[in-house]
Amino acid sequence: MQPLISLIAGLIFGAGLAVGGMINPARVQAFLDLFGHWDPTLAFVMGGAILPMTMAWVIKARLDRPLAGGVFDLPDTRKLDRHLAIGALLFGAGWGIGGLCPGPAIADLALVPGPALLFVAAMLAGMGVHRLTLGR
């Protein structure tokens, strides 16, 4: 049951990435290109996604456990630290250079397999390097 729900959520998520244009690296770079022909579309994607999620957090506060069973497993760190800041800065740089963040890159495996695979392979390598160096 739980893997099926997860698969359906992934399907809807991937469809949203495609409809919203986030799977197009050129559009992502156009959003980040404040000094060029700025394309605000991604701001609408972010705003549109935050809307249902805000409602979901309100509903979550009234639930003792998730609807499909199990327990809530949510991040509870509150501390701002160097890792968060440097990690976010490095991620943002990669996002600008490649025009892709993890979700769209993986979604593009179905649409532009060659270049998407190159990016995803590099991304997994980057994750592996983190695990070997800074990971616990």
Instruction: Give the count of residues interacting with another protein (CB under 8 A).
Output: 118
Site membership for another protein, residue 64 (CB under 8 A): no
Site string for another protein, 10-39 (x = CB under 8 A): xxxxxxxxxxxxxxxxxx-xx-xxxxxxxx
Side chain identity at residue 65, one-letter code: R
- Least distance to another protein, CB of residue 113, Å: 9
Which residues in the 75-134 window bind another protein by CB under 8 A?
75, 77-80, 83-103, 105-112, 115-116, 118-131, 134
Phi and psi (nearest 5°) for 55? -65, -40
Minimum Å gap between C-beta 87 and another protein is 2
DSSP codes of every residue in 11-78: HHHHHHHHHTTTT-HHHHHHHH-TTSS--THHHHHHHHHHHHHHHHHHHHTT-SS-TTSS--------
The CB-of-56 to another protein minimum distance in angstroms stands at: 4
